[in-house]
Amino acid sequence: MMDATGGIPLEHVIWFAITLFLIGVVGILIRRNVIFILLSLELMMNAAAVVFIAAGAFHDQADGQVMFMFILALAAAEVAVALGLVVQLSRRFKTLDIDAASEMTG
Amino acid sequence: MMNLLWLIPTFPLAGFLILCATEGKLPKVVTACIGAGSVGLSAIAATLVGWEFVTSDSTSYSQVLWTWMVVGDFNVSISLYLDYLALVMVGVITGVGFLIHLYATGYMWDEEGYSRFFAYMNLFVFAMLLLVLGDSLLLLFLGWEGVGLCSYLLIGFFHTDPANGYAARKAFVVTRVGDTALILGLFLLFREVGTLDIQQSLDGARDIWPDGSVMNTAIALLLLGGAIGKSAQVPLQTWLPDAMAGPTPVSALIHAATMVTAGVYLIARMQDLYLLSETATLCVAVVGLVTLFIASFTALVQSDIKRVLAFSTMSQIGYMFFALGVGAWSAAIFHLMTHAFFKALLFLASGSVILALHHEQDMHKMGGLWRKLPIPFWSMLIGSAALAALPFTSGFVSKDAILLTAAHSETLGMTFWSIAVAAAFMTSLYTVRMMYLTFFGETKTEPHDKSKANMWLPLLVLSVLSIGGGWLGFTVLGTLFGDKGVPFELHLKELVAIATMCVPLLGVLVGYLLFATNVFDRRKISDSAPGKAVGRFWFVGWGFDKIYDSLIVNPFRWLARVNKSDAVDYLYRFTTLVARIFHNLLTVSQNGRLRWYALTMFSGLLFVLIVVALI
């Protein structure tokens, strides 16, 4: 166990991932700037990726690293779409404030 | 040959289906051929089957076609049952029905919806045949409702006039009152006897109630209620005069010859139930007597020729009920048959007059037509003679049989007889009035007769039957009900018999003096204050419509107006109200803010995690 994660215990990695994830969540909830929301999303995804890597190393399996590759691809795709949306948002509303785009009420 | 029985109702059904499927796209000639031809084929089949049946020794023949439904012990099959009673009815329905269809091919030629008309008529004939041939009461009820539906459709045939629609609805709703009684009677009978097969249930009734009982009387009275509604007897008679809104062939077929006599058929069919209950039998007689009395007076003051005939139909069916009530079963069915002949003849002849006068039905605008419309005149004269029961016509034979049987019945014989004879006097009086106003006096409207062979041929045949039909009675109908009921015979010797024979002649004489000569000044009578009041009272049919309007129709309308928003609906509206409130509450959360949605998602996640952690 010590060897697989370079001497860092799994528990520490998980606490680190949880912290990272919560920072992301709080970032999404409190920031109004779209760019920062996207950054927070990346943070949350990387938190999940860290857990995969650590768990893969812990079980001595390659699956964790495979999942990380998937998350990487997903993040790239997500950024491509999201940045398109950001461009549209700034063109239509002349702002990056996410609350400006709130016409679709129930 | 007798296994051809199923063909009799099949032909009109096929005609209906063909006319229905082609939606009036066939040429008129083809439509006429299918419409009248299907009933004609059915009449031929009926003749073949009937001949075979009469020459054979059997008294009944039944044919099971298929099983309709089986639920536990309850088993209803679609099966036909032929005996002498059904044979007479089938003969009238297909024979007279064919003649009326033939006439209608000419009468309806210029009307909209030619094909629709014949589709309805064929469906009617099918339903009526089902009614009289059905072996179980359920099949009878199916036919019973079928003819009611067709009656509704055909009364409202000229649907562009709202008044016709009203008349059709009135006929439907009023007969529905009787039908409710009928179906309650059927339920009771089924509960007590356990079967709806007619013959089995009658046998069962004889076994269960050898001396009659309250239950038996109740069932018989409920069935009588159905018969009253269908046959337009007091107190459910108000629909028949309004039913004259339909085309004249419809009046002849449905509202004179066949459907309105279904009640008579029903009582005759369920004869054994009535034989067990004196009360029910007495009720039948009284209903008939009251109707024939009221209707014959009403007919005297009508001005619409078809309404005269409608009231006269009511009173003649009253005679049939009366005959059933005093035990003259064969005479009742015999009168049903002769009445079908002469009343169809009268209706068709009056239809020719109406058509020649461009749909004029008011007798006060007719007159002096006897030279100009010879065929309708002579047909109507023969029909009227039979209606008034003048000697040597078929109506004379059948009506005398009824009246004399009534006079010989034990209890109220002479009372019954005198009321019925008074009505017979009125019958000849209004018949003379109708003939005089229509065909004699000065010409008020110029006729344009354009009837062809298909219209005068049925008149000719029905004229022959109206005179000669009386002799059929002795050969076929003497044995109709065997030894139940009073034997069917003609008396000529006794004083009562001579009086019965003379009363119609007296009526004709008085009518002649009253309407055609100036011996009595009838204006003086009708213009005097009491004469006017009585005349008005008779004109509106003794005020039954008014009573029903103020007792039932208007309160119902008031209730409908008050309850326009439907009190029951409030319950359901409450449900929608609750749903709407919650909906409005939830829409607040749909504010379109992305971060708010994210927050709800995360708090949901957190909630689930906490729940999982706690468990």
State which of B520, B546, B561 marks the end of a domain: B520
Residue A23 at interface with chain B, using a CB cutoff of 8 Å? no
Q: Would you say residue B287 lies in a domain?
A: yes
Phi/psi at A96 (5° precision): -110, 10
Question: Burial of B24 by CB count in 10 Å (0-12 exposed, 13-18 middle, 19+ buried)?
Answer: middle
Instruction: Please name the residue of chain A whose CA is at the shortest distance from the CA of residue B603.
Output: A25
pLDDT score recorded for residue B23: 84
Nearest residue of A to residue B600, measured between CA atoms: A29
Chain B closest CA to A100's CA: distance in Å? Answer: 9
B580/B448 same-domain check = no
Our measurement of the distance from residue B349's CA atom to the centroid of its chain's CA atoms, rounded to an integer in Å, reads 20
- Answer yes or no: do A29 and B592 touch at CB < 8 A: no
Q: For chain A, how far is it from start to end, CA to CA, in angstroms? A: 52
Residues B477 and B573 in one domain: no
Three-state SS at B566: coil
Confidence of residue A4 (pLDDT cuts 50, 70, 90): low
The verdict on B592 touching A (C-beta cutoff 8 Å) is yes
AA letter at B373? L
Whether residue B4 is contained in a domain is answered as no
Q: What is the largest CA-CA distance in chain B?
A: 116
- Residue A6: which pLDDT band, with cuts at 50, 70 and 90? low
The residues with which B70 forms a beta bridge, in sequence order, are: B75
Residue of A nearest to B584 (CA): A106
The structure tokens listed for A77 are 């795709």
φ/ψ region of B359 (left if φ > 0, alpha if ψ in -120 to 50, else beta) reads: left
Are residues B138 and B68 in contact, defined by beta-carbon separation less than 8 angstroms? yes
Q: Where are the alpha helices (DSSP H) in B512-568?
A: 522-527, 529-539, 544-548, 554-562
Sequence-distant (≥ 6) Cβ neighbours of residue B202 within 8 angstroms:
B270, B271, B272, B273
The helix (run of H) or strand (run of E) holding residue B112 is none
| Euclidean distance between CA atoms A53 and A59, whole angstroms | 10
Residues B573 and B510 in one domain: no
Residues of chain B with Cβ-Cβ distance to A103 below 8 Å are 592
Instruction: Say which DSSP state B446 is in.
Output: -
Closest by Cα among B299, B275, B386, B286 to B334: B386
Alpha-carbon span B311 to B238, nearest angstrom: 10
Contact between A98 and B602 using a beta-carbon 8 Å cutoff? no
pLDDT of residue A2: 47
In angstroms, what separates the C-alpha of B581 from chain A's closest C-alpha?
14
Answer yes or no: is the ipTM higher than 0.90. no
Instruction: Please tell me the total count of domains within chain B.
Output: 2
- With b for 16 or more beta-carbon neighbours within 10 A and e for fewer, the A35-69 pattern comes to eebbebbbbbbbbebbbbbbbbbeeeeeebeebbe
To 10 degrees, what angle do helices B97-107 and B453-476 make? 170
Last residue within a domain, chosen from B493, B520, B547: B520
> What mean pLDDT do residues A37-50 have?
93
Q: Which residues of chain B have pLDDT under 70?
A: 410-411, 413, 472-493
Cα separations in angstroms, B426 against B225, B300, B310? 27, 7, 15
Confidence of residue A25 (pLDDT cuts 50, 70, 90): very high
Contact state of A105 with B586 under an 8 Å Cβ cutoff: no
Contact B127, B146 (CB under 8 A): yes
B421 shares its domain with B329: yes
Any CB–CB contact under 8 A between B599 and chain A? yes
Tell me the C-alpha distance between B243 and B154, whole Å.
9
Subunit contact A28:B595, Cβ cutoff 8 A: yes
Domain regions of chain A by residue span: 10-99
Alpha-carbon distance B339 to B317, whole Å? Answer: 9
Residue A1: predicted pLDDT: 45
Q: Is-contact B367 B441, C-beta < 8 A?
A: yes
The dihedral formed by the CA atoms of B123, B96, B77 and B479, expressed in degrees to the nearest 10: 170
Domain covering A10-99, topology: Helix Hairpins (1.10.287)
- Output the pLDDT for position B487: 58
Q: Is residue B193 part of a domain?
A: no
Residue A25 has its nearest CB partner, among B588, B589, B602, at B602
CA A32 to chain centre: 17
pLDDT value at position B477?
A: 58
Do B477 and B597 have their domain in common?
A: no
If asked whether residues B484 and B578 sit together in one domain, one would say: no
On whether any CB of chain A is under 8 Å from the CB of B591, the answer is: yes
Residue indicated by tokens 């607040």: B588
User: Do B348 and B418 fall within a single domain?
Assistant: yes
Domain that includes residue B374, residue range: 277-520
CB nearest to B593's CB, from A28, A37, A99 = A99
Question: Is B589 close to A102, i.e. CB distance below 8 A?
Answer: no
In whole angstroms, how far apart are CA B547 and each of B244, B543, B553? 21, 6, 9
Q: Tell me if residue B538 falls in helix, strand or coil.
A: helix
Give the contacts of B529 (CB within 8 A, at least 6 positions apart).
none
The pTM (predicted TM-score) of the whole model is 0.79
Question: Residue B483's pLDDT is what?
Answer: 46
Are B393 and B452 in a shared domain? yes
